[in-house]
């Protein structure tokens, strides 16, 4: 599985913290030292055979279900944060 490329490399730590916080709130067991590991819990929950290393056996649809659950929740949280910030001004 290819690693997503972040346009601003300095943002990686902040995005990982956001991912950990958001997924923890959603009820997932998140290892703060490795927030990306939550994808295995999501995959297992959905019956998707995701494992560490090469995952060429899973379909694009399956990969999207795992990544979408994480990314979608992160985007919702970022929108909420932006709305709250706008209300302060």
Q: Where are the domains of the chain?
A: 9-88
pLDDT along the chain (89 residues), means of 10: 70 91 93 91 95 94 94 95 93
What pLDDT score does 1 carry?
Answer: 44
Question: By C-alpha distance, which of 62, 87, 89, 82 is closest to 18?
Answer: 82
CA 42/CA 86 separation, integer angstroms: 32
């Amino acid at each position: 599985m290819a690693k997503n490329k972040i346009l601003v490399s300095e943002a990686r730590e902040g995005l990982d913290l956001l991912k950990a916080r958001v997924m923890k709130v959603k009820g997932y067991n998140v290892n703060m030292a490795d927030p990306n590991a939550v994808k295995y819990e999501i995959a297992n929950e959905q019956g998707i055979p995701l494992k560490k290393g090469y995952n060429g056996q899973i379909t694009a649809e399956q990969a999207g279900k795992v990544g979408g659950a994480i990314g979608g929740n992160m985007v919702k949280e970022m929108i909420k944060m932006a709305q709250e910030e706008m209300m302060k001004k």
